[in-house]
Structure 1
């Protein structure tokens, strides 16, 4: 029996995405036959007590409080970046220069210039690089890609994508890092619409023109001790409430024209009351249409105009058969998988890339191209004009 090649991971960040990535690394060998064994070598966070606790819970062999130390270590092969956005570029470039393979959470960078620099640094170093757009790796989305490539929908005319959440609607919710422009770069645009743009590029093609609008509904939020400019706000029960300006978008909408002539409509908001994770899309073609909803991620709705008149309508496909991409690695047909499995599938692609020295998709180039579109939407919103997307 051949021994598996051990790939030692250094993961920077330990909260939401740290939990998702840790689980994926641990379960990957259980579901997929691969010649690589991910080793949870070290986890990194600034708060020593919390990162140690996370490391123990998630199964990491050690922890560090300085990401620079991890990049210097000889026992690390992969740098996994799950930090706030403003740190992505510095960490990724240093990792590439140290010869480490890299996987990075989305959006890839604060802007297209940073993203381009990251892509070129990884390319120059010859390391495997990937951006963590996990929704691509739902079996239903992968099957939708196959149907489109096979021409089942015919010529693609429309994509409309919507990503709605509602966790931010309380005006007393504090100014967390996702609401600080100096840390995240943008709000809903980079957090939610980045996923929709990636899916659109994956399924339909490149975007050549956009028109966008953005809105911030609650202009100030409590500081909770965070540094930055403040203003004295109203008293809240006891003591004075210190508020800070919100400089990122709460909602964004965009129209897009694709290079192949398709037309796109995109909407993202953190103010969609009742939507916990409303990531949805519909694609219309000359021969049929399809719909997908992350909250029912194992199903694909498909309409085909070749069906007999009187029996036409959207059919529901349970994408859990062995013929559906990735589904065969898990359970018998009808036994659905969940959100966490999209990360396992993504990590499988990443490890296969390392094994074969072939860069998987979505790569840092995809991250850069996504960022170009996002920047163009922001520019369009600020100027009130259509913007040509220049890659």
Structure 2
């Protein structure tokens, strides 16, 4: 069912919720936050007052609010599945921060709940809304570089986490692993988007270079094969900044290549043509939220739904299994 104006219930009032709130405030014609839930009473009350919204300390109560059309899940990783299922059963549309969920069992439960309810679920994969990514996808889909052989993605930075400020991310039980399933989720969904196929096998080298107090890795190098024979490689880390010449993403095909630093994009053809596209910087969270609202208003499919969210999770879980067994592990189809 399409809507004229989307009333949002924000589930989780800390951390990343601040970026999402800015996005909603940038689009008052199509969205309004009418409710907010946070398990910390003080946070729920503060956000409720800030947004002039009804506040809850239990998201199971928020999803029953008749003044909510859709929920935006900004919770720690291990709480995503329960919130998705509760929202779907209450017939609320869903925007969920990454990762979609953490295990194969959770993935199956999420897919079943969304399918049975018929609601729209959009994965909050904000880097897809970088103009350079949209142009790259357009070029790849048009055959500009011919048959694609390889896609590379990178998302690394020097993280100042320490035991005092890392919170739930320091525990594999609540984060789902280490850096790969957190920041590494971004280059994984970007790889999926650009590769244009279904992931079938993966492996990884995991490292803890600097953040030794973590249970999981602080860095990962991942290889993925897709069913269209594209091979993907990603590098991701909280331990270090990449070298200045490292691309944000690239793709190579039989006719040439594309490469981007995230702001500009260069198309280089084997025939000798080189073209560079420059883009204005975009607030990707705002663009993501506008896309979500437009999908609900117009009844269209989001760029990434639970289908792609589950595929990204499958890639990461296969990479973890490949690292553990030192093999190429199959990507499970949930």
TM exceeds 0.5?
Answer: yes
Cα distance between partner residues in 2 of 1:279 and 1:44: 39
| Residue 258 of structure 1: aligned partner | 226
The question of whether the paired residues in 1 share the 8 Å contact of 2:291 and 2:302 is answered with yes
Give the drift of 1:200.
Answer: 1.4
1:21 aligns with 2:12: no
Are the aligned partners of 1:43 and 1:60 in contact in 2 as well (CA < 8 Å)? no
Structure 1 distance, partners of 2:79, 2:191, is 26
Cα RMSD between the aligned structures? 2.3
SS in 1 for 2:115: helix
Residue 52 of structure 1: which of 20, 41, 45 is its match?
A: 45
Counterpart position of 1:328: none
* Matched ranges for 1:1-391 at <5 A: 5-29=4-28, 37-57=30-50, 59-168=51-160, 174-204=165-195, 205-217=197-209, 221=213, 246-273=214-241, 280-294=248-262, 297=263, 299-307=264-272, 315-319=275-279, 336-338=280-282, 341-391=283-333
Contact 2:224 2:231 (C-alpha < 8 Å) held by counterparts: yes
Alpha-carbon distance change, 306 to 178 in structure 1, aligned in 2, over 3 angstroms: same
State the number of aligned residues.
Answer: 329
Residues 280-308 of structure 1, C-alpha deviations (whole Å, 9 max, x = no match): 111111112111223xx3x212212233x
Q: Quote the Cα distance in structure 1 between the aligned partners of 2:83 and 2:161.
A: 33
- Please tell me whether Structure 1 or Structure 2 has the larger radius of gyration of its CA atoms: 1
* Runs of at least 5 residues in structure 2 that lack an aligned partner in the other structure: none
Question: TM-score normalised to the size of structure 2?
Answer: 0.90
After TM superposition, give the deviation of residue 218 of structure 1 in Å: 5.4
Does the 8 Å CA contact 2:14/2:43 hold for their aligned counterparts? no
Q: SS in structure 2 opposite 1:377?
A: helix
**Counterparts of 2:52 and 2:173 in 1: how far apart (Å)?**
31
Would the alpha carbon gap of residues 90 and 166 (structure 1) be closer, same or farther in structure 2, given more than 3 Å must change?
A: same
1:384 CA displacement: 1.0
TM-score (norm 1): 0.78
- 1:279–1:99 distance in 2 versus 1, CA, 3 Å: farther
Seen in structure 2, the aligned counterparts of structure 1 residues 202 and 60 have a Cα distance that, compared at 3 Å, is farther
The structural deviation recorded for 1:48 is 2.8
Q: Within 1, Cα distance between the matches of 2:314 and 2:205? A: 16
Tell me how far apart the structure 2 counterparts of residues 153 and 375 of structure 1 sit (CA, whole Å).
Answer: 30
Deviation at 1:192, TM superposition (A): 2.0
Structure 1: stretches of 5+ with no match in the other structure = 31-36, 222-245, 320-335
Contact 1:189 1:374 in 2 (8 A): yes
Is the Cα contact below 8 Å between 2:210 and 2:239 reproduced in 1? no
Contact kept, 8 Å, 1:71 with 1:94, in 2: the verdict is: yes
